[in-house]
Amino acid sequence: MHAILGLSDAQRANGIVTMSAGNAAQAIAYAGRAVGAKVTVAMPQSAPKTKVEATRGYGAQIIFAPDMLGLRALVKEIQERQGSYFLHPYDDDGMIAGHGTCALEVLDDLPDADLFVVGVGGGGLISGIAVAVTEKRPRARVVGVEPEGANAVRRALDAGAPVPLERVQTVADGLAAPIAGVRNLEIIRRRVADVVVVSDDVIVEGVRFLASRARLVAEPAGGAAVGALLAGRVAVRPGENVVAVVSGGNVDLSRLAEFFTA
């Protein structure tokens, strides 16, 4: 909503195009409908049915690419054909600032939070949270968690610049960005303590724990932070107040059942 409300009337009138495996797609579709703007979303064919149906339910048109790596080219084609404004799902100042409100709400409830653990895709959520946390509670740390099969941000940090992934393969489609955002990388470099990489097994264990112990239905992207903490991949200092951001509950029930029978 913050990003779309920041667009000009002309930009909204020409329609908005974005790319997403489903979570940003739903959010942007919802916000576009709220302001009367047409939204077109480039999604991979592998996107979960739940996310596809929800995105359509919010009024967006969906055009499919073969996989995550083909989304950017499809967005460019849609832009040229429709004249739409490209709202990047994570490498955008408005999107980053909007994500930061998550941390502000957490700090309202838990002003003594010491460690925020956040799932990482392209870096939109964690960069917004990191800006808010380091401004409001400078002593707190922010740590990211990324899948082994979609480690775009970790690779960018190691290389010093965004590096396109040749292949994306992870159970956590909500964290499956093919490249880190330029804005996001700069913020993460300055404000995030670390980005750790974990296996899909660790992520799925987070999903199981949230369902069985916290009674929360989370998709793999939402279980990544908890999984990393359970596996000891994020070092917690004695006495720290820890926040795990559960950043998505959009999972097909049949897929969820697989996680508990595997």
Which among 205, 142, 195 has a CA at the least distance from the CA of 171? 205
Is the model's pLDDT at 135 over the cut of 70? yes
Is the model's pLDDT at 254 over the cut of 90? no
Q: What is the pLDDT of residue 262?
A: 67
Q: What's this model's pTM, rounded to 2 decimal places?
A: 0.93
Which among 50, 59, 6 has a CA at the least distance from the CA of 255? 50
What digits encode the pLDDT tens for the residues 71-122? 999 999 999 999 999 999 999 999 999 999 999 999 999 999 999 999 999 9
Which among 144, 146, 138 has a CA at the least distance from the CA of 172? 146
Q: What is the pLDDT of residue 69?
A: 87
244-255 average pLDDT score: 89
- Report the range of poorest mean pLDDT among 54-58, 66-70, 194-198: 66-70
Is the model's pLDDT at 39 over the cut of 70? yes
183-197 average pLDDT score: 98
Question: Is the Cβ–Cβ distance between 168 and 200 less than 8 Å?
Answer: no
Average pLDDT for the chain: 95
The span from the CA of 62 to the CA of 74, in Å, is: 11
225-243 average pLDDT score: 97
237-248 average pLDDT score: 96
User: Which domains, and CATH codes, for the chain?
Assistant: 2-86 (3.40.50.1100), 93-261 (3.40.50.1100)
